[in-house]
Amino acid sequence: MKQPCFIGIDLGTSGCRGICIDDVGRLLASASRPLPPSRHPQDGWSEQHPGDWWSATLEVLQELQVRTPNHQAQALSADGTSGTLVLTNRQGQPLGPGLMYDDRRATAEAELLTRLAPDQAVLHSPSSSLAKLLWLHQHEGLVPGALALHQSEWISGQLCDTGGVGDENNCLKLGYDPVQQCWPTWLNELPLPHSLFPGVLAVGMPLGRISPEITAATGLPSQCQVITGTTDSTAAALAAGLEQPGDALTSLGSTLVCKILVDQPLQSAQYGIYSHRIFGRWLAGGASNSGGAVLRQHFSDPEIRELSRNLNPERSLCLEYYPLPGPGERFPINDPGMPPRLHPVPKDKARFLQGILEGIGRIEVLAYRKLESLGAGYPVRVSTSGGGATNAYWEKLRQRLLKRPVRIAAHPQPAYGAASVARRGAYREG
Ligand code: ADP
For a mutational test of ligand 1's pocket, the pick from 101, 232, 295, 385, i.e. the residue with the most ligand atoms closer than 8 A to its C-beta, is 295
Maximum Cα–Cα distance across the chain:
66
SS3 265: coil
SS3 330: coil
Whose CA is closest to atom 27 on ligand 1?
388
Burial class (CB in 10 A: 0-12, 13-18, 19+), 298: middle
The complex scores an ipTM of: 0.98
Distance of CA 395 from the midpoint of ligand 1 (Å): 14
341 neighbors 363 (Cβ within 8 angstroms)? no
Whose CA is closest to atom 25 on ligand 1?
388
Please tell me the CATH code under which domain 244-408 is placed. 3.30.420.40
- Rounded CA-CA distance 73/61 in Å is 10
CA angle 287, 383, 76 (to 5 degrees): 90
Residue 143, pLDDT score:
87
DSSP classification of residue 402: H
341 neighbors 335 (Cβ within 8 angstroms)? no
Q: What average pLDDT does the segment 284-301 reach?
A: 96
Q: What average pLDDT does the segment 32-40 reach?
A: 96
CA distances from 122 to 80, 274, 299, 396, 413 (A): 17, 7, 32, 33, 24
Q: How confident is the model at residue 397 (pLDDT cuts 50, 70, 90)?
A: very high
pLDDT for 380 beyond 90: yes
pLDDT for 429 beyond 70: no
**Atom of ligand 1 at shortest distance to CA of 292?**
14
Q: What is the pTM of this model?
A: 0.94
SS3 268: strand
Q: What average pLDDT does the segment 44-63 reach?
A: 98
- Rounded CA-CA distance 100/16 in Å is 15
pLDDT for 313 beyond 90: yes
pLDDT for 142 beyond 50: yes
Q: How confident is the model at residue 152 (pLDDT cuts 50, 70, 90)?
A: very high
Tell whether omega for the bond before 332 is within 30 degrees of 0, i.e. cis: yes
For a mutational test of ligand 1's pocket, the pick from 301, 358, 360, 396, i.e. the residue with the most ligand atoms closer than 8 A to its C-beta, is 301
CB contact set of 166 (below 8 Å; sequence gap of 6+): 149, 150, 153, 174, 176, 197, 198, 199, 200, 201
The CATH class for the domain spanning 3-234+414-429 reads alpha beta
Q: What average pLDDT does the segment 400-406 reach?
A: 98
Residues with Cβ within 6 A of ligand 1? 253-254, 292-293, 295-296, 301, 304-305, 386-388, 390-391, 394
Residue 113, pLDDT score:
96
pLDDT for 233 beyond 50: yes
Q: Do domains 3-234+414-429 and 244-408 have the same CATH topology?
A: yes
pLDDT digits (tens, 9 = 90+) for 157-201: 999 988 789 999 999 999 999 999 999 999 999 999 999 999 999
Residue 279, pLDDT score:
95
Residue 318, pLDDT score:
84
Residue count of the chain, please give it.
430
Domain ranges for the chain: 3-234+414-429, 244-408
